Structure 1
Amino acid sequence: MMDSITQAALSLAQSAGVWGYWFALLAALAETAFLLGLLVPGSALLLLMGMLAGQGVFDLGDLLFFAIAGATLGDNLNYFLGRRYGRNWLRQDRWFLKAEHMGKAERFFHNHGGKSVFLGRFVPSVKEIMPFIAGMAGMERRSFMIWNLAGAVGWSVQWILPGYLFSQSLSLAQAWLSRVGVMALILVIVLVLLYGLRWSLMRYGPSGFQFLRSIVQSVVAAIHQNPEVVNLARRFPKATRIIKRRFSRDSWKGLPVTLTGVCGLYVLFVFAGLAEDVVTGDAVTAIDLRVNSLLASIQTPFFNQFFYAVTSLGFWPLVVSGMFTAMFWLWYREQSALIFPLIVSVGSCELLTLFSKLLFHRPRPVAGLIDTAGFSFPSGHASISVAFYGFAIYLAMRSARLWRTRLNLLILALLVAFLIGFSRIYLGVHYFSDVVAGYLVGSMGLLLGIAATYLNPIPERWFEQKFELAPALRLAGAISGFAAFAALLQMTNAGKIPLAAQPEPANRPMVQSEFPQIVLQENSNQASSVFGNPEAPINTIFVARNLDQIRACLLAAGWLEADPIHWGSVVSAYLKAVKKKDYPTAPLSPWFWGADSQTLGLVQPGQQGRVFDRSFLRVWSTNHALNTGEGLYVATVGREEREPWHLVPQSLPSFNQEREILARKLRAGQVTNDVYEVPYPDTTSNTSGINTPPYDGDVSVINLATECQ
């Protein structure tokens, strides 16, 4: 519910234009308003609006100004309420205000004096109450305003700036990282998020669970003591006994079945909603196509093999051998009562997955890296990653005594499930919604397996009587099971990886063309970012013997070759941009034509001291050549500028003008044999960037002179 409110509010802010700044003011005011701030996620909205500012939707300075104004107004409202009504409300217990509720804030105020207004702004559950306490205590208004304004500035920066920097960092990564770097960045972000989750649970988990437990116990006690509930229990004793049995911990038919039923119904409800979206072609299918397209654009040979190895963990030979290994280990540890729950978890998961696949008949994505049979929805690998590996880690958590150990095992379970599910999307054999549905089905199997641990239909004495072995032999059997599992994993990955997962050959066969423009008719007519977003039109085709001829002719015409991309050159470019020094050969961010990054990058510097305000020319080699023997090279020429408060330069919508300037200068420099224009293919459906109109120009075909070489 709160997520829906946040997303709706964020969409409203993004589409409101100038009114979005007033929305930021209201969000900051609501976050700090007395009592309302405990319910409204104003800080989260400001964080997301900071991310939008990083994408250019809002101006950072204006957004900070309105957020500071809203926070200041909210605190002044609280100060006025405390000064006018504070003592009366406490005495009359209004608005759920009781003396014990204000104790924390009052102690904070008396310990820190006037600066408590500033410090309290950064303390959860205190920032909403501290101005009220200050007004109730009669704090001088001028002193309150000074500390209040300082706190509002710090608080607004605290929430808006991280979102802005995060968004800019993603844009920076998209602009400068290679496809291997982007995939590595995704994995690093996942690991950082999991580490943050672990740190939060390690620090606040025990106390948080204890707090929730005390709340539940308080609510239960209040229900038991409620006179109306007592009367209902007396009137309906049979129903009361049934309800009590549902929450009894003495039998598996009590609380275990109740919790399993409630959680199972929730999982089935979410699964049904997702399945409905898939069947009706709702927005989730659009997300599926975008995610698959994005991951297809950043596939590399290294990660193809890495994720093929990861996805092998879900193949049935490994799962079956893993189950036998786990069963043998449980038998060795004399915990054979847990073998049946393991079978329930995996068996129910497989049955639900098979039934769902047959029910929905969803085809798999086309052009996957590996050949697979069967239907797509839900993902069997994703479901087994939860039902089998999740249950195996659950068994390990049962025997762990320390909270830290259990938490590490939980993070391991999440990481394994994520990697296996992500590998299916990366390899192009499942959609995003297939994997999510697989997680839900696997969660249902895991719930049934955990519930079965309270049911013991197989007496342990069966195993003790029939399979009584020495401890050394049991240990040897368990080790053999692990060895068999490892051997199967090695055998699975040692075999030939499907051809589609192999790297493309370096030398593609040459295609003879009669006309130069055929290269754009048979291939992409746009340059894109590493994430597949269109950046610029391919508006130039060079006809040359080789790449060195293009380099020589363009250098003779006044262009400069950009430095290669590495950490030193990129950092140096930004440092010189900050210091307003010249760097005429600053590197160009990598763009892609199809699966290839630019082969040659050239620049023409603009205004002095503005490193990223310049004309650019990115050139790609192709496997096309004319019948006369000259090779065809596609290029995009344009201009880019870096706006204030932004890290990444943006392309200007002047591609046609820059193309004409390039052709004119090459003619003037006498480095061409011929220059002519051909129509740009499919001009109505191709855009030259996120914020630019469709490209309405032509394509220049430039036959370079041989004297440049």
Structure 2
Amino acid sequence: MGPWLDSITAWLSANPSWLGAAVFLVSFVECLAIAGIIVPGTVLLFAIAALAGSGILPLGEALLLGFLGGLLGDFVSYFLGRRFHQNIRRLPGLRQHPEWIAGAETYFQRYGIASLLVGRFIGPLRPMLPMVAGMFDMPLVRFAAVSVVAAAGWSVAYILPGWATGAAIRLPLPEGFWPEAAVVGAGLAVLLGVAIQSSVRAKPYATWLIALTCLILLIGVFLGWPYLAHLDQGVMTLVQEHRSEAAENFVVLVTGLGDFKTQFCAAALLLIVLVITRQWRHAVFACSTTLGSAIINQCMKHTFARARPEVLAEPLSSYSMPSGHASASFALFMTLAVLAGRGQPVRLRLTWLVLGVIPAASICVSRVYLGVHWPTDVLAGMLLAFFACATSLAFVENKQPLPALPLRVWWLLLPVIFAVLVGFAAHSLTHGLIRYEY
């Protein structure tokens, strides 16, 4: 694939006006039934996104084009399924590889709507599930609603890393940026490897091992943040360079999702629903994760007393590390992701965790974008929430695994939390009540 990829990127470098069309087209093909399995779109999309980040295409445009391309791929696949139903198996490619559609059918029949959200991040399933949803006559309105949410998360997860890589290579970053970034990246890679390997191998001590790894990395960040100054300055420069008035309101809305009042009400409603439905062990896990993260966060803020960045016209006087928005949002979304994955295969549990990371990470990026936290602040907040979540889960599952939540609880829980998050964030944006200091 090397020469072919090089020729495409070379042509796009010489013809940058076509780069936006390339992001849209590759995203479309990556999410299109059958074609998404055959074409190595993930690698190609990363390369094109990196090229876009080199100064050719703004991040907002790249994310929007990726979102629209992926969404179009979903809808074309869906209508193919609705049009041909079971005759779809006669199409070229599926006749020779019936397992492509068989796996997606099994997955869809088992998990329903959730399969469209989670399967979006599982390569072989991503292009096939919308077509299977059409084959089984899923209502268009329901499919469209789920597909919009899934495509938005997919666009961020698949385009942002490549775009950020291209932008980082282009900018004159501090000399020590890349070595420090490599150290942080290696630490996160170790955490990811420990989580995946211990979970896949079903080790009885897997959750404790993950908690211990998070604790070691968290201590490392707290002791080592003075030595990560080049990383902080470099990432801050990268993010601040792309500030724009057009994106300001959206970023403020995102950061409002992590505001203290918003997160407190969402966590409180989560606990109330779990208690009302008598899910006692789930309630203990959720309470210990969210409350534990908040208590530890405030203790650490005053222990290390780190000053905030001087980006705002009037810099905030409160302490910076760890970010309260980061720890609260990761604690809430990781709690929901863990509860969603109970009673499901390891692969699906890990995918739910990835889905939980996306909104929490978006809130973290908004904090750096607004200049109220250093990158290592949000990194510490994330690791703190991971540690609290893993420790709480290990205690709750000490004697027996946590069972899956009944579906009736989810139908009550999700609309309530979604309404609270969006309602408070929108109200804060409208009335200018965003509290940057959390």
TM-score (norm 1): 0.34
Instruction: Kindly report which structure 2 residues correspond to 1:141-160, keeping only aligned pairs within 5 A, or say none.
Output: none
**1:392 aligned onto 2:272:** no
Please name the residue that 2:259 is paired with.
315
Task: Encode CA deviations 1:38-97: one digit per residue, 9 max, x unaligned.
Answer: xxxxx9xx89x979x97xxxxxxxxxxxxxxxxxxxxxxxxxxxxxxxxxxxxxxxxxxx
Q: Which amino acid aligns with 1:437?
A: A
Shift of residue 441 of structure 1?
Answer: 0.6
SS of match in other structure, 1:377: coil
CA spacing shift, 1:216–1:382, aligned 2, 3 Å: closer
Q: 1:163 Cα shift?
A: 7.8
In the alignment, what sits opposite 1:374? 318
Aligned twin of 1:687: none
C-alpha distance in structure 1 between counterparts of 2:120 and 2:308, whole Å: 33
SS state of the match for residue 366, structure 1? Answer: coil
**Out of 97, 101, 122, which is 1:199 matched to?**
122
**Cα deviation per residue 1:409-456 (whole Å; 9 max; x = unaligned)?**
434202112111111111111121211111111101111221233269
Quote the residue 1:491 is aligned against.
427
Q: Partner residue of 2:225?
A: 278
1:423 corresponds in structure 2 to: 366
Residue in 1 aligned with 2:50?
Answer: 170
Counterpart residue identity of residue 445, structure 1? A
Q: In the alignment, what sits opposite 1:511?
A: none
Quick one: distance in 2 between partners of 1:215 and 1:418?
24
1:543 is aligned to none
Q: Equivalents in 1 of 2:199, 2:217: separation in Å?
A: 29
> 1:148-173: per-residue Cα shift (whole Å, max 9, x none)?
xxxxxxxxxx99xx989965763455
Contact 2:368 2:375 in 1 (8 A): yes
2:214 corresponding residue in structure 1: 267
* Separation of aligned partners in 2, 1:336 and 1:377: 33
Decide whether aligned partners of structure 1 residues 308 and 176 sit closer, same or farther in structure 2, where only a CA change above 3 A counts.
same
Aligned counterparts of 2:414 and 2:123: Cα–Cα separation in 1: 36
Task: Tell whether 2:410 aligns with 1:410.
Answer: no
In the alignment, which of 326, 342, 357 is matched to residue 270 of structure 2? 326
The one-letter amino acid paired with 1:315 is D
Could you tell me which of 61, 64, 78 is aligned with 1:181? 61
**Paired residue for 1:436?**
379
Deviation at 1:341, TM superposition (A): 1.5
* 2:283 corresponds to: 339
- Percent of residue pairs bearing the same amino acid type: 22
| Per-residue Cα deviation, 1:198-252 (whole angstroms, up to 9, x for no partner) | 224859xxxxxxx9799959xxxxxxxxxxxxxxxxxxxxxxxxxxxxx8xxxxx
Give the letter aligned to residue 176 of structure 1.
I
For 2:233, the equivalent position in structure 1 comes to 289
Q: Is the Cα–Cα contact under 8 Å of residues 309 and 374 in structure 2 kept in the other structure?
A: yes
CA distance in 1, matches of 2:328, 2:199: 35
CA shift in 2, pair 1:188/1:294, >3 Å: farther
Aligned partner letter, 1:427: L
Cα distance in 2 for partners of 1:378, 1:413 equals 20
- 1:680-699 aligned within 5 A: none
SS at match of 2:300: helix
The question of whether the paired residues in 2 share the 8 Å contact of 1:180 and 1:298 is answered with no
Q: Residues 369 and 428 of structure 1 are in contact (CA less than 8 Å); yes or no, is this contact kept in structure 2?
A: no
CA contact (8 A) 2:199 2:346 kept: no
Output the CA distance in 1 between the equivalents of 2:422 and 2:59: 31
Using the alignment, how far apart are the partners of 1:266 and 1:440 within structure 2? 9
Code of the residue aligned with 1:428 in structure 2: it is G
The structure-2 alpha-carbon separation of the partners of 1:268 and 1:197, relative to structure 1 and needing over 3 Å to count, comes to farther
Q: Contact 2:49 / 2:62 at 8 angstroms: preserved in 1?
A: no
Q: Displacement of 1:277 after TM fit? A: 2.8
CA distance in 2, matches of 1:166, 1:215: 27
Q: Which protein has the bigger helix share? A: 2
Instruction: Tell me how far 1:493 sits from its aligned partner.
Output: 2.3
Q: TM-score by structure 2 length?
A: 0.52
Over 3 Å counting, the alpha-carbon distance change for 1:190 and 1:382 in structure 2 is farther
Query: With CA pairs under 8 Å and 6+ residues apart, which has the higher RCO, 1 or 2?
Result: 2
Q: Which amino acid aligns with 2:395?
A: A
- The one-letter code matched in structure 2 to 1:275 is F
In structure 2, do the counterparts of structure 1 residues 476 and 374 end up closer, same or farther at CA, with 3 Å as the change threshold? same
Question: Could you say which structure has the higher strand fraction?
Answer: 1
The separation in 2 between residues aligned to 1:188 and 1:286, in whole angstroms, is 36
Residues 622-652 of structure 1, C-alpha deviations (whole Å, 9 max, x = no match): xxxxxxxxxxxxxxxxxxxxxxxxxxxxxxx
Structure 2: 5+ residue stretches without partners: 11-38, 74-116, 127-195, 400-407
Q: Provide the C-alpha distance between the structure 1 equivalents of 2:70 and 2:233, rounded to a whole number of angstroms.
A: 22
> Where do 1:223-238 residues align within 5 Å?
none
Helix, strand or coil at the partner of 1:285:
helix
Distance in 2, matches of 1:485 and 1:215, equals: 33
Cα distance in 2 for partners of 1:379, 1:195 equals 28
Task: Report if aligned partners of 1:340, 1:452 keep a CA contact under 8 Å in 2.
Answer: no
What CA distance in whole angstroms lies between the structure 1 residues aligned with 2:432 and 2:56? 34
Give the letter for the 1:316 counterpart: F
Conserved? CA contact 1:325–1:481, under 8 Å: yes
Match of 1:100 in 2: none
- CA contact 1:341–1:453 (8 Å) conserved in 2: yes
SS in structure 2 of the partner of residue 419 of structure 1: helix
Cα drift, residue 285 of structure 1: 1.4
Deviation at 1:353, TM superposition (A): 1.6
Q: Which amino acid in the other structure matches residue 333 of structure 1? A: T
d(CA) in 2 for partners of 1:304, 1:172: 21
| 1:374 alignment partner, SS class | coil
Aligned pairs for 1:246-645 (under 5 A) are: 255=204, 258-279=205-226, 282=227, 284-368=228-312, 372-398=316-342, 409-454=352-397, 487-496=423-432
Structure 1: unaligned runs, 5 residues or longer = 1-42, 55-157, 204-210, 218-246, 248-254, 457-471, 501-709
Q: Please tell me whether Structure 1 or Structure 2 has the larger radius of gyration of its CA atoms.
A: 1
Instruction: Quickly say closer, same or farther: Cα 1:498–1:313, change in 2 above 3 A.
Output: closer
